[in-house]
Structure 1
Amino acid sequence: MPLVTLDNLTIGFRGPALLDGVSCVVEPRERIGLLGRNGAGKSTLMRLLTGEQTPDHGKLVLSAGARVAELPQDVPRGVEGTVSDIIRQGWPEGREAWQVEAAVDRILDQVGLDADTEFDSLSSGMKRRALLARAIVGEPDLLLLDEPTNHLDIDSITWLEDFLSRWPKALLFVTHDRAFLRRLASRILEIDRGKLFDWTCDYDTFLKRKEQQLAAEEKQNALFDKRLAEEERWIRQGIKARRTRNEGRVRALKEMRVERSERRDKVGKADLKIQEAQRSGRLVAKAEGVSFAYDERVILGDFSTEIMRGDKIGIVGPNGAGKTTLLRVLLGQLAPQAGEVRMGTNVEIAYFDQLRGQLDDDQTVQENVGQGSDSVVIGGQTKHILGYLQDFLFTPERARTQVKFLSGGERNRILLAKLFAKPANVIVLDEPTNDLDAETLEMLEERLVEFTGTLLTVSHDREFLNNVVTSTIVFEPGGVKEYVGGYDDWLRQRKEEGGTAKAAKAAKDTKKEAKDEGKPAPKADQPKLGYNEQRELKSLPAKIEKLESQIAELHTEMADPAFYQQDAKRIADRQKAAADRQAELDSAYARWEVLEGTA
């Protein structure tokens, strides 16, 4: 039985409906990634699921007795008490009170928190763990997560991924973290121009199919527009005679005009352009034997590095480790307590602040970026501030809105607009990817890769680091170290270093292993396969081959751009068939492994 059913649901505020006649079914134990541009309606859909909002039309039906819980994007204000007090707040009304203590103890063990710790004393990552524990203590049937990786360090993100991968109930989450999406999502829902598209596939498959669907839509729209233009030329020439055929053609033209007026065109990409200042000197900054501490807490100890023109450096570490402090020391904004930092010549810095402290909430977008001027100079040419902001997807109406009314993604785009309005040869980005939609994030990555100046970025977005940086400075338990390459390169090099450390011990054990090689290994008592199991094992390869062939045929069919021009029910049926075959194939492979291991 479906856990959640949306039936012809519509909701809107000012302007076009955010969700316009959408229908969808969520089944138990599904892991769904919810995608869409900033402002598309993702948070609205979540509020509908939690009951905070009601639809204008249509129905949202939860199965009898189903519970929904949410992990909010930001830590709510006014949350006080010990960790166990916070978790108890999630205990459902109507359940036996005596069960709560056992449930709280079990959840505390799962999330690795101390019951008596005050919530206010926790780091941001640990606060999110406590709020997650509050959300899951009542074992909800559907868990909603809104940007769960925001402001978490990489260790906290990987912990969250591991925890959620074992979660036995349904998940629906919104995230900008593509690595998180790849790890967890087995189904993609996308909100696009008021419609809810069910892609029934993982994230990488979605990217391929989405590109094909957009290409097909663009071609279809171009053909429609060409035909409409031809009909408009015909009507302007005047109708020669009142024939039934001509009257029908006029009615068809009216219908085409209505259809064109109701079309919601695809939202464009932000047109990011980095203004490069005159080249800096070859050396940007050089740190030698630098140390810095806050009281007894050491941030840097005898740290040395050279930053050369064109370097793109990522800085990684736990929350509170001192990454922002390191940036300030390297840029000469904070004097080291030991050692020396030497700045290069002709260095012009543009800074992106993760806390958005550069924005005045009471000013409009236009006032924040223009700073008293109606124009900006871009590439040596003067451009009106409203035209410039349209490159960052702010309409003139939105540009005149106070910042306090904007979403997190829109605030980040304002910071990028301010950042790129100033010529620079060194760009410093402190958590730039939070809240950005995938399209804007990809555009930012492209521009940073093309940038010929120097980049320093603090980020916990693993894919962003892999795509952009050429070296990584990491806060590790043994101190701050520098590695060549991005996040995956750091993991590989760290693993190799661990392997080298174990080499000596392995060498000592070589003699003992050589002696033991001549001894026969003891035979383990293994159960043998029964007659029916032997027959099943023989039949599995043919079954697997058949399923793979069926899945390949379905994927070929869905890869055709014409596939998405069919009736919605036909599309949903074929997508469900592909998902069912894939589940059968996974089960067959798992069974084959079990039987092969026993044979």
Structure 2
Amino acid sequence: MLNASNLYLSFGDRVILNDVSLSLLPKERLALVGQNGVGKSSLLRLLAGESPDGGKIEKAKGVVVAILNQVPNLDENLSVLETVRLGMAEHLAAIAEHQRLCEALGQNPDAHPEIVTKIDQLAEFIEHKGGFDTDYLVETVLSRLGIAAKEQTIKTLSGGERRRVDLARILLMAPDIYLLDEPTNHLDVKAIQFLVEIFTKSTSAVLFVSHDRAFVDEMATKIVELDKGKLYVHEPPFANYLENKLIRELIEERSLHRRERLMVGELAWLRAGTPARTTKQNARIDRAYELMDQITKDSEAQRKKQLQMATARVKRLGNTILELENVGAAIGDRILFRNFSLKVGAGQRYGILGPNGVGKTTLLSMLAGKNKPSFGHIKFGKNTHVIEFDQHREKLDPNATLKETLADHGDYVYIDEQKIHIASYLERYLFSGGDANRKVSGLSGGEQNRLMLAKLFRHQANCLLLDEPTNDLDVSSLAVLEEIVLDYDGVVFVVSHDRSFLDHVCTHIIAFEPTNLDTKESRIEVYNGNYSDYREQKARESAPTQEIKKTVQPQRERTRVKKRTFKEEQELTTISSLIENLEKERTELHNLLSNSDIFRDAKAAQEKVERLKIVEDEIERLYARWQELEEIGSN
């Protein structure tokens, strides 16, 4: 359907893509992952039609490509309904032509057979696009994405609402290739499940950027990693990508930076599973340290970045941080929720769940003291100080530099009484010290979110409000945020649809549960535990007679650490070069197979395909053997 070969792209001296090749085939769903700012969005835009600095992109005749950008480009004067119907122009035109030809055939039954053939072709195309009942199709997509205000103009919508409208437009277009940049941003859990249903049943190709680990696991047939201008292909699940990336970087550098330590922790957590989270993360910590202890660190001069998150000390905690008594909210005559009571203590971390529009952000704004409750009241402690994360990044000046955003006193950032140079502070949030004079407008979405976190945690507070903080964050940044939240001594409220993040950090779940479909009023319930615990409790409620058994993983028996033999030491030293040579061959084979000319010689093409399979299997075997030897221990 689409072949990109030998793509090259640079911004000034910075190389974004270096000899990148990629093919998209029907029914493929490729998750594009990588650190913030590596060029994932740029690659999507090239595949959508922008010109690279080098290489070529070939698209099969008639193939329709649609892209969901991080910032939608919509006509602000059109209504929601008019906007989404723009994506159906080809669909609606086919229905009109089908009707015209059917009427012509009815008037002249002996019409030329070509008309009958054309009618059949149009009918097949219309069914592929979703059928003849376009009103039902539009209503279904808008409803499942939580879009209610169909007659509102685009200019009246928030950033998140515009994203959902743009996503609806693309879904209704039903293109042959979907290019989606963080499609789950601003979606609730039910809307995310709707996307999974659509794409797993579709015959279209999908290339999507996402750091939502659960979504990647449910969706992806392959995981494609962009790193330092190169592409690396991994088999799902997300944990496999993390492990492969870690092993590759260890082989390349034989050192373990803090960025990789965070990744090791993430891998260990994913492997530990839900039962481990009930034992204060012992399995996660044990696994992380087992891996760390096996690796020799390079000298400090070789460390390009050292991630050290510094936050202001939590303001002294009083006996009461927050207390809600019969709190409720209403917009005009519509009641969102009422009779919500909660007494909040230090160290509690609440995940807030519910469909879009039920009042989650409204609750956060009341906790921030920006809006008063419509019913009941909120008692703030004498020493309570609240800070909040802005999901729309409206508190960032796009024309300001990073230095101007963070350093109120020249070249230094002050955290409590600590004075930190702006270059050092930026490095702690995975920026380069030389990024101080970069404009905010030049940052990727994930980089802007990291900047928001860097700005947020300069201040003392004992109540932290996070509204969709994981949007656009890469795996390292997510791990950073998780560490901050887990180590936070105050109370945390977080609205997020990232199920893995909620599993990692939450001690309680606040769930908005609709009780009246006509008025759309919700009841708020509080559940102990993380997201998985919440799901399990809901399963018990829906099937009270069915016994739900927890699976307990047997504790792994610790074995005495062995040492490698001389022969194994020799084998270990050769594996690195073997993998490097095979990965070069794999890249060459991918480049060859991305060129349609090779398939003119069917025998030669088949030989290349078979060789690629052999090479990929051998790379996987060598990676596994390398890790096995590392785990044995060194002499």
TM-score by length of 1: 0.72
Matched, 1:185 2:220: yes
Change (3 A) 1:378 1:267: same
Asked if structure 1 preserves the Cα contact closer than 8 Å seen for 2:141 and 2:168, the reply is no
Per-residue deviation, residues 26-76 of structure 1 (Å, max 9, x unmatched): 33221100112122111111111111x222222222234433222233332
The equivalent of 2:153 in structure 1 is: 120
- 67-76 or 148-157, which moves further after superposition? 67-76
Greater relative contact order: 1 or 2 (C-alpha under 8 angstroms, separation 6 or more)? 2
The equivalent of 2:452 in structure 1 is: 415
In 2, the alpha carbon distance for the partners of 1:140 and 1:266 equals: 45
Letter in 1 for 2:253: E
Change (3 A) 1:397 1:570: closer
Decide which of 546, 568, 586 is 2:583's aligned counterpart: 568
The equivalent of 2:270 in structure 1 is: none
Asked if structure 1 preserves the Cα contact closer than 8 Å seen for 2:5 and 2:22, the reply is yes
Letter in 2 for 1:486: N
In 1, the alpha carbon distance for the partners of 2:67 and 2:498 equals: 23
The equivalent of 1:87 in structure 2 is: 85
The equivalent of 1:443 in structure 2 is: 480
Question: Unmatched 5+ residue regions in structure 2?
Answer: 100-125, 144-148, 258-301, 516-522, 547-571, 588-609, 619-635
- 1:159 to partner: Cα distance: 1.5
In 2, the alpha carbon distance for the partners of 1:100 and 1:444 equals: 54
1:137-286, aligned counterparts within 5 Å?
137=172, 139-219=174-254, 268=305, 270-286=307-323
Identity level (%): 36
Per-residue deviation, residues 218-240 of structure 1 (Å, max 9, x unmatched): 13999xxxxxxxxxxxxxxxxxx
Decide which of 373, 392, 405 is 1:368's aligned counterpart: 405
In 2, the alpha carbon distance for the partners of 1:171 and 1:432 equals: 25
Matched, 1:35 2:68: no
Matched, 1:78 2:69: no
Pair member with larger Rg: 1
Question: Unmatched 5+ residue regions in structure 1?
Answer: 223-264, 504-556, 582-599
Asked if structure 1 preserves the Cα contact closer than 8 Å seen for 2:250 and 2:256, the reply is no
The equivalent of 2:54 in structure 1 is: 57
Give the match's secondary structure for 1:180: helix
- 1:334 to partner: Cα distance: 3.4
Asked if structure 2 preserves the Cα contact closer than 8 Å seen for 1:90 and 1:136, the reply is no
- 1:158 to partner: Cα distance: 1.8
Q: CA RMSD in A?
A: 3.4
In 2, the alpha carbon distance for the partners of 1:220 and 1:571 equals: 25
Per-residue deviation, residues 437-475 of structure 1 (Å, max 9, x unmatched): 111111111221122222111212111111101001111
Matched, 1:458 2:458: no
Asked if structure 1 preserves the Cα contact closer than 8 Å seen for 2:347 and 2:489, the reply is yes
Per-residue deviation, residues 61-92 of structure 1 (Å, max 9, x unmatched): 22344332222333323152463663344545
- 363-372 or 307-316, which moves further after superposition? 363-372
In 2, the alpha carbon distance for the partners of 1:193 and 1:212 equals: 16
Letter in 1 for 2:419: T
In 1, the alpha carbon distance for the partners of 2:237 and 2:386 equals: 40
In 1, the alpha carbon distance for the partners of 2:173 and 2:321 equals: 54
Change (3 A) 1:324 1:24: closer
Change (3 A) 1:369 1:202: same
Asked if structure 2 preserves the Cα contact closer than 8 Å seen for 1:270 and 1:393, the reply is yes
TM-score by length of 2: 0.68
- 170-179 or 95-104, which moves further after superposition? 95-104
- Length, aligned pairs only: 480
In 2, the alpha carbon distance for the partners of 1:447 and 1:100 equals: 59
Give the match's secondary structure for 1:165: helix
Change (3 A) 1:578 1:379: farther
Matched, 1:15 2:13: yes
The equivalent of 1:513 in structure 2 is: none
Change (3 A) 1:337 1:437: same
Asked if structure 2 preserves the Cα contact closer than 8 Å seen for 1:6 and 1:24, the reply is yes
Letter in 1 for 2:71: D
In 1, the alpha carbon distance for the partners of 2:227 and 2:198 equals: 30
Give the match's secondary structure for 2:326: strand
Asked if structure 2 preserves the Cα contact closer than 8 Å seen for 1:188 and 1:206, the reply is yes
Asked if structure 2 preserves the Cα contact closer than 8 Å seen for 1:216 and 1:561, the reply is yes
Asked if structure 2 preserves the Cα contact closer than 8 Å seen for 1:284 and 1:309, the reply is yes
The equivalent of 1:314 in structure 2 is: 351
In 2, the alpha carbon distance for the partners of 1:221 and 1:485 equals: 33
In 1, the alpha carbon distance for the partners of 2:93 and 2:378 equals: 62
Give the match's secondary structure for 1:434: coil
Matched, 1:485 2:529: yes
Change (3 A) 1:575 1:173: farther
In 2, the alpha carbon distance for the partners of 1:328 and 1:130 equals: 24
- 1:580 to partner: Cα distance: 10
